[in-house]
Chains A and B, each alone.
Chain A
Amino acid sequence: MATLPLAIRPIAGVPSANEPKADLAERALRGDQAAWNALVSRHNQRVVVALLGRGLSLEKAKDIAQEAWMRLLEQQRAGKLRELKLPALAITQATFLSLDAARKDGRTLALAEGYDCADPQPLPLSRLIGEEQLARAESILAKCSPSARQVFGLVYGGGGLSHADVAERVGLSVQRVRQIVCEVRKELREAFDEEDRHV
């Protein structure tokens, strides 16, 4: 597996990681190496977690995430990248790579709505989330406070916002946003675990 050049390895605490996202994306699209560093640093974890959630091992997930960033960088250098919506684009790239790797390994993947299981031992939650679970989650969210629902929507929506971004947008502290995420997560997890026990 190819590794990222040292210059674009994810480095925690890169100063430019706090720059506005749009500015970073624009700079990265122009080929700015520091901007790429910051974007990888900011979003790599989400790409790895997305792959883990699809049943890949941590080692494999990290390798594929690196490969995905490499592909994006190559596309940018070839002038094929017109916009950079992260982390969605990197996750999509990584998902394709994981499917490709699984095909080469002769594994069968059940890909539905992004929920495939590359692992021979399927995890209960890695199966497609059903309508009943969705309805249950929806009713749980309906009981949450409006600010909790807003935070949940922003954190897990397609915008790829960090907790700091969400905190700024809703006017809460980062600590409070994290607390809300943990509380809502706990509620939903209990509901899902309950259903898993009945499956």
Chain B
Amino acid sequence: MCDLLSREHLEGYVVGTLDEVDAAALEAHVMECASCETKLQREAALELAFTRVAAHVEHTSRPTRVRRIHVALPMVAGAALTMAAAFLLWIVPHADSDAASRAPAAEEPAPQMVESNADASTFTASLDLQADGSRLGVRD
């Protein structure tokens, strides 16, 4: 086993940090020394393995971004439903007051007004938005 080339030399060659003169000297030796050529191939294989590792790490870090989207979607949906509920809460009393102002109280049957209010209160009570926005449930 030849020990002429140190691991640092071989590593420097594959990583590309050896200067031109040292790299040429290393190549000249490796061309004639099977043992050092095998060591150089091993260093180069390690370099390829690192490329694979980098690709793997990049790949496994991607789902994090996807998970963020998954978390964000219920938040957006929750916000939209909250706005819709707020809109309904706002419009129902206004609709009631409009109707009340337009029609004489005697002609408009009171039970219908009570029924509308009952619907609205039922709807608002059914919203179940959690604080972290990660889940939105609707109860009957």
The answer, among A113, A123, A188, for a CB contact under 8 Å with B45, is A123
Within 8 A of B (CB), among A154-199: 155-158, 162-163, 178, 181-182, 185, 188-189, 192
The answer, among A123, A156, A162, A181, for a CB contact under 8 Å with B53, is A156
A157 and B54 contact, CB distance less than 8 A: yes
Residues of A within 8 A of B48 (CB): 50, 53-54, 114-115, 126
Q: Is the interface of A mostly helix, strand, loop or mixed?
A: helix
Residues of A within 8 A of B30 (CB): 58
In the complex, whether A138 has a CB less than 8 A from a CB of chain B is yes
Chain B nearest CB from A107 CB (Å) reads: 15
Known: A12-B20, A163-B17, A181-B15. A58 touches B58 (CB 8 A): no
A53 and B57 contact, CB distance less than 8 A: no
Known: A53-B48, A114-B48, A156-B53. A126 touches B15 (CB 8 A): no
The answer, among A12, A51, A123, A156, for a CB contact under 8 Å with B38, is A123
The answer, among A57, A115, A153, for a CB contact under 8 Å with B54, is A153
In the complex, whether B55 has a CB less than 8 A from a CB of chain A is yes
In the complex, whether A71 has a CB less than 8 A from a CB of chain B is no
Q: Point out which of B30, B45, B51, B60 has the most chain A C-beta atoms below 10 A from its C-beta.
A: B45
Residues of B within 8 A of A157 (CB): 54-55, 58
Chain B nearest CB from A164 CB (Å) reads: 10
Q: Point out which of B23, B27, B54 has the most chain A C-beta atoms below 10 A from its C-beta.
A: B54
Q: How far apart sit A56 and B13, CA to CA, in the bound complex (Å)?
A: 16
B44 and A50 contact, CB distance less than 8 A: yes
Task: Provide the A58-75 mask, 1 if CB < 8 A to any CB of B, else 0.
Answer: 110010000000000000
Residues of B within 8 A of A192 (CB): 46, 49
Residues of B within 8 A of A162 (CB): 16
Count of B residues near A, CB < 8 Å?
32
Residues of B within 8 A of A134 (CB): 52-53, 56
B47 and A49 contact, CB distance less than 8 A: yes
Chain A nearest CB from B34 CB (Å) reads: 9
In the complex, whether A46 has a CB less than 8 A from a CB of chain B is yes
Count of A residues near B, CB < 8 Å?
47
Residues of B within 8 A of A53 (CB): 14, 41, 44-48
Within 8 A of B (CB), among A97-148: 113-115, 119, 121, 123-126, 129, 133-134, 137-138, 141
Chain B nearest CB from A162 CB (Å) reads: 8
B37 and A129 contact, CB distance less than 8 A: no
Q: Point out which of B20, B23, B30, B44 has the most chain A C-beta atoms below 10 A from its C-beta.
A: B44
Which chain B residue lies CB-closest to A154?
B54
Q: How far apart sit A125 and B10, CA to CA, in the bound complex (Å)?
A: 15
B15 and A57 contact, CB distance less than 8 A: no
Would you list the 10 A-B pairs with minimal beta carbon distance, nearest first? A53-B44, A156-B54, A52-B44, A53-B48, A125-B45, A53-B45, A137-B53, A126-B45, A12-B20, A156-B50
On B, residues with C-beta under 8 Å from A are: 11, 13-17, 20, 23, 27, 30-31, 37-38, 40-42, 44-58, 60
